[in-house]
Amino acid sequence: MKIINREARLIELISTIQEQREGWHGVCFAFSQLLEHYRSDYQIKIAINLMNDLLGDRDGAIFLCEDATIYVVVRNLSKPLLDKMVFQLRYLFMDDPLAYTAEGDENPEFAQVYSIETEWDDFNKVARNHWAQKVRAAQGNTQPMTTEPAPVKREVRFFNAASLLAVERELKEVDLRSALRRQPVCAAVPGMPIRMVFDEMYINIAALRQLLKVDVDLLSNRWLFKYLTQTLDMRMLELIRQNTSTYLVAPLSLNLNIPTLLSEQFLAFDEMVKKGMKASIVVELQIADVFSDMAGYFTARDVVQKLGYRICLDGVTDLSFPQIDRQRLGFDLIKVQWNAETETKGEHTRRVKEAVRSCGSNRVIMTRCDNELAVHYGQSMGLSLFQGRYLDGQVNPRATLQN
């Protein structure tokens, strides 16, 4: 596929295919928003080579803009291959905040995909706005060409190194029990009552902020927040060790970091867990962390499973789920996020069903189920394990705290 360095040529191609747009797709990768470290010529070249390998000799072109934004315009590319391209590019830049949010979710700003057949106007507008801003910048005016008023920026106290130290000092003294939350993972089988299988135990960040004197948005800096979660891991393990009669009496899961599982604190926690209880404890790991440290993951997985616990991968979307190989990664369970915009039929549904079959329906948990529709969709995929606010209300309708 051709690689073109001119924005004007992009506009030209979009105009050319306007009358015969069937089968065309456009993708805008917002690589201008990457951190400088990940926006080097070398990194961008790797990204382009990856695209070229996936797209082969299909009709279309790759457009590299001066600010590192990349547009892909391609015809007759199947949705699975289109999803694979976005997934692999996100994986390539997974250490940059543009790829994943602070909570480990896929950042929607990373890439925008357009079906040119039905969204030609939208894609054309995006490309022309990009070109217009470049022209105005060259003329010495960097104001974006838009008739809409600029949004009012809300003053936010960002999480920085100084506030990290202050937060860590406070965490040594604060009682985390009021910030500790439980959310059930439930079995929901048609014709049978919903029953709880195990509780996920986690620290609610909003509740934690209420406990701290330091007024800072903990999620505003993904890297510092990720570092902080390791401290929170240690505090939560310590809290459980000190209150085993409260927390280690029923099946539960703990969302932890890979370094935590290889620490002395986790071994100290393990010593407090009765042998018969270990099989009912699930250790959850974020998929973004797994892909960013595969060697560490495999080591931690072997250690944890040998001790008798189960491994669950969290943070997986319905788009990335078919790309994950359970045999290779060796996990016991996987959480797939419900998306209200997920197709309920067609090729995508077929791929999800095949992924469920390959993984094992009893190993897949559908999460973020805020309504009954999500459960019905999961059941149509052959699933019986669910998590989300809808299940919270079914299991404990009188609860006052919301997960």
Provide DSSP, 322-372.
GG--HHHH--SEEEEE--TT--SSSHHHHHHHHHHHHH-GGGEEEE---SH
Tell whether 111 and 202 lie within a shared domain: no
pLDDT the model gives residue 162: 81
Q: What is the pLDDT of residues 264-299, one digit of tens each?
A: 999 999 999 998 899 999 999 998 889 888 999 999
Instruction: Count the domains in the chain.
Output: 2
Whether residue 93 contacts residue 87, with contact meaning beta carbons closer than 8 Å, is answered with no
Does 56 map to a domain?
Answer: yes
pLDDT the model gives residue 84: 87
Tell whether 281 and 386 lie within a shared domain: yes
Rounded to the nearest 10 degrees, how much is the dihedral formed by the CA atoms of 233, 239, 245, 250?
-20
Tell whether 369 and 240 lie within a shared domain: yes
Strand order in the sheet with 2-4: 2-4, 60-64, 70-75, 24-29, 111-115
Does 175 map to a domain?
Answer: no
Whether residue 71 contacts residue 10, with contact meaning beta carbons closer than 8 Å, is answered with yes
Helix (H/G/I), strand (E/B), else coil: 321: helix
What is the CATH classification number for the domain harbouring 220? Answer: 3.20.20.450
Does 402 map to a domain?
Answer: no
Print burial letters for 191-217: b (CB count within 10 Å at least 16), e (below 16): eeeeebbbbbbbbbbeebbeebebebe
- Rounded to an integer, what distance in angstroms lies between the CA atom of residue 401 and that of residue 141? 50
Whether residue 255 contacts residue 314, with contact meaning beta carbons closer than 8 Å, is answered with yes
Q: Which residues of the chain fall below pLDDT 70?
A: 1-6, 102-103, 134-157, 341-345, 400-401, 403
pLDDT the model gives residue 156: 41
Supply 389's token pair.
């606010």
Q: Furthest-apart CA pair in the chain: how many Å? A: 72
pLDDT the model gives residue 153: 36
User: Both ends of the chain: CA-CA distance in Å?
Assistant: 47
| Closest by CA position to 368, among listed 329, 336, 325 | 336
Q: What is the span of the domain harbouring residue 98? A: 2-138
Tell whether 129 and 189 lie within a shared domain: no
Does 171 map to a domain?
Answer: no
Helix (H/G/I), strand (E/B), else coil: 387: strand
Tell whether 40 and 189 lie within a shared domain: no
Tell whether 370 and 271 lie within a shared domain: yes
